[in-house]
């Protein structure tokens, strides 16, 4: 089986949101731009919503990796796909009909992904893998950037990778939270291939160089 692509998806959560389009321009060497949509209900933080994402996608050629940390994604998620998001992730804990929603996202041209909080087990969703293009395993509690990576989630990543490999499917595993030079290798070794790095990239003196370093470290752990 061929290895999945190693992708770096910096989160704009740690950027200057008052200059969002310019801040996205600082990470053009990345594979995706990670957009955290928070509603102050599902998580205790508020960022931006559909109108901001729509306008941003009109001003960037980067592929958008939209992460919905919102209540009722069944109602709102498809609009982000229609706006041009390359990937739309909704939380398993919030969706009432995850298979239906995943199918609707695919019908609108987006990769369909489900996110799991650190304490949410992956096993109930393994039978649904053929309906998904990606699983996001949160490595912090969702809601705020700059948190410390939770190593206790690594076995869940490994179990998810084993199930995907057994299925022989092209399904990505994304990790989000505390991803840095110190942690990305462990996440890749466990089986993740898509890495959301916010503060590690945006607080670096040279974001492009940091993206390259993170990609190299993840690739080394995959191909050791």
pLDDT greater than 70 at residue 28: yes
Q: Could you report the per-residue pLDDT of 134-161, keeping only the tens digit for each?
A: 999 999 988 776 678 999 999 999 999 9
pLDDT greater than 60 at residue 224: no
Query: Does residue 158 contact residue 122 with C-beta atoms inside 8 Å?
Result: no
Give the domain ranges of the chain.
Answer: 7-223
Cα separation, 150 vs 12, in Å, equals 21
Cα separation, 48 vs 81, in Å, equals 16
Name the pLDDT band for 33 (thresholds 50, 70, 90). Answer: very high
Across the range 67-73, mean pLDDT stands at 97
Task: Name the pTM for this structure.
Answer: 0.96
* Domain 7-223, CATH homologous superfamily name and number: Aldolase class I (3.20.20.70)
Short-list 97, 103, 34, CA closest to 69: 34
Written as six digits, the tokens of 19 are 């200059």
Burial tier of 148 (Cβ tally within 10 Å: 0-12, 13-18, 19+): exposed
What per-residue confidence (pLDDT) applies to 223?
61
Three-state DSSP class for residue 67: strand
What amino acid positions are annotated as catalytic residues?
Answer: 36, 176
Across the range 47-64, mean pLDDT stands at 96
β-strands 194-196, 64-69 pairing: unpaired
Name the pLDDT band for 222 (thresholds 50, 70, 90). Answer: confident
Name the pLDDT band for 2 (thresholds 50, 70, 90). Answer: low
Cα separation, 16 vs 93, in Å, equals 29
């Amino acid at each position: 089986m061929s290895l999945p692509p190693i992708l770096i998806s910096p989160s704009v959560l740690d950027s200057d949101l008052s200059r969002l389009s310019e801040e996205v321009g600082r990470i053009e060497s990345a594979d995706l731009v990670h957009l955290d949509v928070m509603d102050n209900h599902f998580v205790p933080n508020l960022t931006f919503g559909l109108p901001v994402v729509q306008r941003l996608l009109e001003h960037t050629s980067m592929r958008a990796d939209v992460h919905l940390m919102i209540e009722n994604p069944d109602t709102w998620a498809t609009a982000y796909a229609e706006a041009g998001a390359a990937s739309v992730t909704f939380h398993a804990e919030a969706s009432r009909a995850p298979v239906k929603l995943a199918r609707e996202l695919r019908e609108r041209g987006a990769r369909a992904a489900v996110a799991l909080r650190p304490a949410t087990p992956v096993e109930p969703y393994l039978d649904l893998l053929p309906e998904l293009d990606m699983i996001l395993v949160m490595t912090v509690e969702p809601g705020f950037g700059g948190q410390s990576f939770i190593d206790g989630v690594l076995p869940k990543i490994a179990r998810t990778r084993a199930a995907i490999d057994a299925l022989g499917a092209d399904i990505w595993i994304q990790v989000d939270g505390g991803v840095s030079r110190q942690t990305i290798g462990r996440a890749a070794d466990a089986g993740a291939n898509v890495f959301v790095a916010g503060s590690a990239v945006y607080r670096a003196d040279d974001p492009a160089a940091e993206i390259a370093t993170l990609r190299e470290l993840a690739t080394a752990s995959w191909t050791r």
